[in-house]
Amino acid sequence: MSDNSSGGESQDPHDSTPEPPTQPVEGVPTQPVPPVGPPPGSFGPPPGSFGPPPGSFGSPPPPPPGAFGAPPPGAFGAPPPGAFGGFPGEPLPPYVAAPPKHRRTGRFLALAVGLVAVVAAGAFAVTSFTGDDGSGSPEAAVEALFDAIGDEDVIGVLESLAPGERDALREPLEDINSELKRLGLIDDSVDLNHVPGFELDVSDLTLETEELGDGVVAVTITGGKVTAKTVPDDVPVGETLEDFVEENGGEVTIEESTETQDLADAGIELVAVKDGGGWHVSLFYTIAELARKAAGADKPNFGHGVKPEGANSPEDAVKHLFDAIADIDLEGMIAALPPDEMRALQDYAPLFIDAAAEDIAQFKSDGWEIRVDDLGVKTKGSGDTLLAQITTFAVSGDSPDGPFDVAFDGDCVTVHAPESAGISLPESDSGGNDELCKSDLEEATSSAVSDFVNKLSADAGFIVVKVDGEWYVSPVRTFLQTFVAALEALDREDIENFSDFVNSMFSGIEVDDSGIGPIGDLPPECEGILDDPTNDLDPNDPAVQACFDAMDDQGNGGGDDSSTTTTFSEDTTSTTTAATGELQDPVPPDGLGESFQLSDGRSADDVARACYEGDMQSCDDLYLESDFGSAYERYGASCAGRLPENTNYCTIAIGETAPN
Amino acid sequence: MRDAPAFDRSGGPLPSPDVSAVPVRFARKWAHWFTVVACLAVFACAFLPWATSGRASRSSYALARSAERLDLINAAWQRGLVVGWYFMPLAVAALWLAAVARRPFAVAALGTGVGALAVIGALAVRSTRLQPEFGTSATIVAGGLAVVGAVATAWNQKEIR
């Protein structure tokens, strides 16, 4: 043991390793010189050594007078001579002196291990900061993607994508997931780290590569098997979606299934790109390459496509894009997109930009010219990703039939254009079609629709991102953000009402065991309309109107077979029932609450009365213009009580006039 | 034998040994090595599974890299935590050297840093929506022990002074 009284942290006083005996130094206590215990080779204490020889071990001698509390000279930290351990009267333990040479060797070894560890740990830290993002080869990138898919590892899937693409997808995907959960379309078990209900297993993957360009490689899957298994109990169908399906005659019972597909037959080709020092699978390059091959075009000169041109501010990025759009400058539009996210488009653009230029030149030669005179942009958020919203704009230009201008001052849109230019607004209350204000929209639509529009306009806009110090408009983020904003503007009640709407639209449609199936005896005018879920059934659309008219004819018995068109029963699996057979007697419009004025000036009570008297268009008007969930709405939706409340569109279900 | 009376040189009885000092002596003797072992345990725990995504589990370093790649490290404290975690093995190696070279204050300082970093990092992962694995619990325990050992080491040194 060495001295610690000199302070500092030069040595640890509690080190368990005894120091080798040293030469006595003045003022420094020394190791006990006489060995304690039996001499080497002898077992047990030497004869006569039992018991405490005076002053040989145990506690130190009592302090001299006047020195109480202070250690005897030379005794601090070191046992008195011959007093190493043990209790009074106990035999002394055998003394085993550690060979000093071994101790030194051990310490040197420990130091060497420490130094090697420092170097290794330093290298680890450096490589952690400078390590490549991505896989070591294109094949490894594709394998990583399939491994992540097989592990249901959404984080791994995103990681295997090109950095710009995963950055554009990750946050909106999380938001969409949250919104779908809030709306009850999927259940709470779904997360980026857990997608329940489906199990995928990819095995024996064999790949073939083809270099398309520098850092761009097509990877074709030439062999392997994918086994997909559905675990019915885990499929994350949300409450609202379940209700929606059941209300429409379906059933959310998912069969357990296992399917194995040979990937060699699937002809899957993915494109891997080198980015961030490693290889990643690129969704956009894959799509672009598929399109190129479908078009039979030559390979582009990768890295020499449209040169990205960012802006100095988020507002300028939006303005640059709008200027390019107004000028129909395709190259300018593509250049205004972020190079990390849209690199594929910028690389492949030369393949189609010249062909498009001819069409654009033709359009311009027809006399069209558009100018953005003013664009007010405000941004929300902070950091390198912002939401840019248009607050005002003024666009002017020339059409073949004369000049036009369109302006938005934040409240009203004003249009001045020749009728033949095809730029017009719906007729507003203020008369004419040259101005449409927010208030007109609010009056013309139900409160739910105007709420939806208000919420959507508050959160929708252009997402601008900063890449390498310049600002660009991100199309993928913008699209997904608009979708997220639309979901955010909805609530569960809206979904349920939509369910009612769909239910009413399909209330005459036969549903077979396999789900929504063949349309029974719908008029031919309705084929491709009512069975098209993307059709918004715009009543101004002549085809939709023709369909409605044909439905009316059938509903009024005008069809060839009045007993085989519309089913009013909620049991949509039944096939045909006479249209009039299930109509109930109408209920008088009493006690519906406080009346209000419809957009055409009629009072709600008058419209309800007309509905009661058999004018089905009045029922529809009442349904469409009443507040959600109100008594008036339900009265209109039920055709004055003649049909269930989820009928909604009485002109479709019954016809223009209800039979007496 | 233990009952036999003990005598000093003058023939008087010797005072009884202070048995209560034994654990203190033990703690003083071993505190800094205890810190070293706890920090080595923290280092080992960093490579255990910390969180799962689907059926794939990730160690703390894999998780940190994923978080960086997915642009999830935004706040300054998160960035500091990740940078510190990358340097944690270096700190443990330095702590080992300090122990071998008998630098108790250095052991105490590094041990506190490594232990605190481990506890905060593991708690941060547990507070996310990720499914935590046993690696985080083990790290919290090891990190906590490292802090205790480091504090004991520093306390000992203070007492001696």
Residue numbers of A between 77 and 116 with CB closer than 8 Å to B: 87-91, 107, 110-111, 113-115
pLDDT of residue A441: 72
Contact between A76 and A29 under an 8 Å Cβ cutoff? The reply is: yes
As a whole number of angstroms, the distance between CA A17 and CA A14 comes to 9
Do the chains contact at A121 and B17, CB–CB below 8 Å?
A: no
**Side-chain-facing half-sphere of A652: CA atoms under 13 Å:** 30
* A641 Cβ contact partners less than 8 Å away, ≥ 6 residues apart: A584, A585, A586, A587, A635
Domain spans in chain A, listed from the N-terminal domain onward: 138-295, 314-338+351-490, 493-653
Nearest to B86 among A54, A129, A166 (CB): A129
Residues of A within 8 A of B161 (CB-CB) are 7
pLDDT in tens, A380-438: 888 888 999 988 999 888 887 788 888 888 888 888 877 666 666 665 544 455 778 87
| Average pLDDT, integer, range A282-303 | 90
A168 confidence band (pLDDT: 50, 70, 90): confident
Write out pLDDT tens, residues A460-488: 889 999 998 999 999 999 998 888 888 88
Q: Per the CB < 8 Å rule, is A383 touching B104?
A: no
B40 CB-near residues (< 8 Å, 6+ apart): B92, B96
Q: What is the pLDDT of residue B87?
A: 93
- Residues of chain B in contact with residue A4, where contact means CB-CB under 8 angstroms, are 160
Q: Smallest Cα–Cα separation from A320: which of A482, A471, A476, A478? A: A471
Dihedral through CA B109, CA B114, CA B120, CA B126, nearest 10?
Answer: -160
Q: Is the confidence at residue B16, as pLDDT, over 60?
A: no
B87 vs A577, higher pLDDT: B87
- The more confident residue out of A230 and A609 is A609
Over the stretch B56-70, which tens digit does the pLDDT of each residue have?
Answer: 899 999 999 988 888
Please say if the pLDDT value at position A304 is more than 80.
yes
**Which residues, at least 6 apart from A462, have a Cβ–Cβ distance to it below 8 Å?**
A318, A321, A387, A388, A389, A390, A473, A478
Residues A556, A616 contacting (CB under 8 angstroms): no
* Best-predicted range by mean pLDDT (A306-310, A452-456, A539-543): A306-310
CATH of A138-295, one of 3.30.428, 3.30.1560, 3.30.70, 3.10.450: 3.10.450
- For the cut 80, the answer to whether the pLDDT of residue A517 exceeds it is no
Classify A391 as helix, strand or coil. strand
In this model, does residue A602 exceed pLDDT 80?
yes
Within A53-137, residue ranges assigned H as helices are 100-130
pLDDT tens for B5-15 read: 555 556 666 55
Distance in Å, alpha carbon of B144 to nearest chain A alpha carbon: 22
Task: State CA A606 to chain mean position distance.
Answer: 48
- Predicted confidence band at A519 (pLDDT cuts at 50, 70, 90)? very low
pLDDT tens digits for A359-372? 888 887 877 888 88
Closest CA in chain A for residue B19: A87
Please indicate whether, in this complex, the C-beta atoms of B129 and A192 are within 8 angstroms of each other.
Answer: yes
- Structure tokens given for B77: 């404290």
| Whole-number pLDDT of residue A382 | 82
- Minimal C-alpha gap between A576 and chain B (Å): 48
Mutate to test the interface with A, among B3, B8, B83, B155 (most CBs of A within 10 A): B8
pLDDT digits (tens, 9 = 90+) for A40-50: 444 444 444 44
Q: Structurally, what CATH architecture does the domain formed by A314-338+351-490 represent? A: Roll (3.10)
DSSP single-letter state for residue A192: T
Residue A237 β-bridge partners: A186
Q: What's residue A638's pLDDT?
A: 87
Instruction: Provide the pLDDT for residue A272.
Output: 94
What is the reported pLDDT for B8?
56
**pLDDT interval class at A59 (50, 70, 90):** very low
Average pLDDT over residues A12-18: 42
Please identify which residue in the block is written with the tokens 């002898």: A42
Q: What is the ipTM of this complex?
A: 0.75
Q: Does the beta-carbon distance from B105 to A121 stay under 8 Å? A: no
Is-contact A72 A60, C-beta < 8 A?
yes
Q: What local confidence, expressed as pLDDT, does residue A482 receive? A: 87
pLDDT above 90 covers a percentage of chain A that reads 16
Size of interface A-B (CB pairs under 8 A): 156
User: Looking at residue B72, what is its pLDDT?
Assistant: 84
Chain B residue closest in CA terms to A384? B74
Average pLDDT over residues A276-293: 91
Distance CA A641, CA A65 (A): 113
Cβ neighbourhood burial of A633 (10 Å; 0-12, 13-18, 19+): buried
Q: List, for residues B100-120, the tens digit of each pLDDT value.
A: 888 888 999 999 999 999 999
Nearest-CA distance from B57 to chain A in Å?
9
Name the nearest CA neighbour of B100 among A103, A647, A402, A129.
Answer: A103
Among A25-39, A372-386, A401-415, A518-532, the least confident range? A25-39
Overall size of chain B counted in residues: 161
CB contact under 8 A, B94 and A54: no
Return residues 375-404 of A near B (CB < 8 Å).
383
Candidates B5, B52, B93; nearest CB to A114: B93
pLDDT of residue A543: 80
- pLDDT tens readout for residues A178-226: 888 888 777 777 776 666 777 778 888 889 899 998 889 999 988 888 8
Q: What is the pLDDT of residue A84?
A: 46
Give pLDDT tens digits for A76-125: 444 444 444 445 555 666 655 555 666 678 888 888 888 999 999 888 88
Distance from CA of A16 to the nearest CA of B (A): 6
Which chain B residues are Cβ-neighbours of A121 within 8 angstroms? 87, 89-93
Spatial contact of A322 and A372, defined as CB atoms under 8 Å apart: yes
Rounded-to-5 percentages of helix, strand, coil across chain B: 70, 5, 25
Judging contacts by C-beta atoms under 8 Å, the chain B residues touching residue A63 are none
The C-alpha of B147 sits at a distance from chain A's nearest C-alpha, in angstroms, of 19
Q: pLDDT value at position A139?
A: 92
Cα pseudo-dihedral B7, B10, B16, B17, rounded to 10: -100
